[in-house]
Chains A and B, each alone.
Chain A
């Protein structure tokens, strides 16, 4: 478990050269308003090709992305020479030539992929302009239906004997409809926002794409391993990522790692990594101090500092009560990618051919394993335990294990734009669920003819209508004889 953690936080660093750029989550998110015009006759039939073409484009990109999952991304060409050799082509034809020529080694930044994304954005805008906007114009233009035949032609229609259209209007208003009454005619609607929202969805996605383009062209990234107690300058770590990347004032900031520490669960697994950072400006004045951890980055002047990795940099020991000495630790790649650090304290005369000494190994900051000159296990000590260990007459006390923190830095001018797009997309997608319902009614003598339609909730609509129409009061005899009086009232 413990080692998995390390790998995980490692990864973003390895990938730091990879484009975040084309993230561009795109495609029209919600149903556009194609249907539904037939009621108000004068609607121009929407150009039928547009949505289909953007759907096609969506379809075309899927195979690429699927491939991207199966072909390892961002490796050196040699890797592909080995994995897809020419003498044993995968599936009989697929060799490294394919991978490299078509840019499958960096699928998500290959020209094909970016091209299809661009096309998608274009079709998105075209669809909004040619299909959605005319539809909304039509939806806003409402009118009274003045014949009972027209009303009866709607998806839902009903005749209410002995009722008045005013009462119906009141009932509908109570149910949240906007009601318009003119003489014997009534028009009511609800959920108009559900018609506008899909346009918002498309616009939000264009916004996200724009923000992602900004990220791709204008950001800086970099990562650094800093032992506890050392400094670095932000500008030295960050390297430009795109053509528009411009350094800012804040790049002169110097960062000092005050302390790196790890917290553990009782079971011994790491619960969190902490790095205490101080930021100094050019004059050496501390401008900010913060303890960062995974999920809790530091932000200053457009720069974000993430906790992504860790390592062991040195052991501080006392040898025969002399010292303290700092022994640099090096990562040992023994069993695969497991994390193991080691250091070595030479013992005896330095000029002999093969120097022997005491080896110290550690997997984390908690415990150090010591081996004697013959490589035999001697014991385990915790840093700071003040418990010396005796190895062949040499007394060693481990004072401290000094960690180094792996930080990832970035500036990304696209984030605010992308976040705005995210917010808009969430909101408009939710609103798109609303169903735009329209109801027409007509007083025909003592009978009210009601008809209506809706664009999404076609199943629930008749139920809701029946429930509402049940609430319309039945007129008693007296007013019945004089419907015009009740209308004027």
Chain B
């Protein structure tokens, strides 16, 4: 009883912290940067991280199995993994990390989605069906979700890279129109857009700006590559341990079950990404496009298959609420 109350309290704390952090993010987005606000953002994220950790541990103790048995729990775990990715650079480097601008919102959105009303029906299921009672549950699901988190984050970096690259074209279009119309008062606006476009805010001449821009692109490119490689390892281990588990529980290590097929497709897409990276000419935009496709595929694999409610992997899917 105490534990379930604690769980409630932690859920509420983390959810209200998340709401606060979102509001702060919006403020920093619209109003210019305030240092104090940024610090409190960080603190908010840390508090949320610990309350989610507490939430997961409480569920673990209360239900006596790892909280990964249904969609709600795996979503919470996904957002926990994203928080983890957000926290790691904080521990290693004290400096402000530009990557956190991507991790923070994605962690928040995942958690917001998990806690929102859509899935409330499922919060209390809490028992394990026979097929899930195995040591492999921990290994397989945690590896898969960690892999999803890392791959999602890595491909989000690539998406950012694409946006930055693409934005240049937009700006060029703006510039052309500007020249065409020859209206000087538009200029300040274009200048403003340029300024917003470059995360490194700099009003200095364009060459310096281009330097920062290309450096940022290079960084994004590199980090998305590293994070995706890491996620790929988790995904590989997750799929393989799942195959071993399937051989224990279902009698065959590969059934071409929809979820398995889509996990394989995800794996293939990111294998293609890693191969494209080996060719120097295809780095940057080309590999980023592949990563973007991978980003969509992960969501199909993670949600789409459960939405259809087909196959052997339909634990804790949306159809559960219908029964």
Residues of A bordering B, CB below 8 Å: 1, 3-5, 8-9, 11-12, 15-16, 18, 20, 23, 25, 27-35, 48, 51-52, 54-55, 58-59, 61-62, 65-66, 68-69, 73, 107-108, 212, 221, 265, 267, 269-273, 293-297, 304, 306, 308, 408, 410, 412, 415, 418-419, 422, 425-426, 429-430, 432-433, 456-459
Q: Is B102 an interface residue (CB 8 A)?
A: no
Task: Decide: B131 and A31 in contact? CB cutoff 8 A.
Answer: no
Q: Is B299 an interface residue (CB 8 A)?
A: no
Chain A residues in 8 Å Cβ range of B46: none
Tell me which of B223, B236, B253 contacts A429 (CB under 8 A): B236
**What number of A-B contacts does a CB cutoff of 8 Å give?**
170
Distance between Cα atoms of A52 and B276 in the complex (Å): 8
Q: Which B residues between 231 and 247 are near A, CB-CB below 8 angstroms?
A: 232-233, 236-237, 239-240, 243-244, 247
B185 CB → nearest A CB, Å:
42
Task: Decide: A457 and B275 in contact? CB cutoff 8 A.
Answer: no
Given A4-B314, A69-B305, A271-B130, 7 extra CB contacts under 8 A: A3-B323, A4-B323, A25-B264, A48-B279, A54-B275, A410-B252, A412-B252
Distance between Cα atoms of A419 and B244 in the complex (Å): 8
Q: Secondary structure of the B side of the interface? A: helix
A167 CB → nearest B CB, Å:
27
Q: Is B280 an interface residue (CB 8 A)?
A: yes
Task: Decide: A31 and B277 in contact? CB cutoff 8 A.
Answer: yes
Distance between Cα atoms of A27 and B264 in the complex (Å): 10
B211 CB → nearest A CB, Å:
17
Q: A25-B264, A429-B232 are in contact. Are A267 and B127 (CB under 8 A)?
A: yes
B298 CB → nearest A CB, Å:
14
Q: A29-B236, A273-B130, A430-B233 are in contact. Are A68 and B272 (CB under 8 A)?
A: no
Chain B residues in 8 Å Cβ range of A29: 232, 236, 271, 274
A480 CB → nearest B CB, Å:
35
- How many of chain B's residues have a CB under 8 angstroms from any CB in A? 57
Q: A51-B275, A422-B240, A422-B243 are in contact. Are A27 and B268 (CB under 8 A)?
A: yes
Task: Decide: B272 and A108 in contact? CB cutoff 8 A.
Answer: no
Q: A27-B268, A415-B247 are in contact. Are A293 and B253 (CB under 8 A)?
A: no
Task: Decide: B323 and A58 in contact? CB cutoff 8 A.
Answer: no
Chain B residues in 8 Å Cβ range of A34: 278-279
A413 CB → nearest B CB, Å:
13
Q: Is B50 an interface residue (CB 8 A)?
A: no
Chain A residues in 8 Å Cβ range of B310: 69
Task: Decide: B129 and A4 in contact? CB cutoff 8 A.
Answer: yes
Task: Decide: B265 and A65 in contact? CB cutoff 8 A.
Answer: yes
B248 CB → nearest A CB, Å:
6
The residue in chain B whose Cβ has the minimal distance to the Cβ of A458 is: B222
Tell me which of A68, A269, A410, A422 contacts B251 (CB under 8 A): A410
The residue in chain A whose Cβ has the minimal distance to the Cβ of B240 is: A422
Task: Decide: A20 and B268 in contact? CB cutoff 8 A.
Answer: no
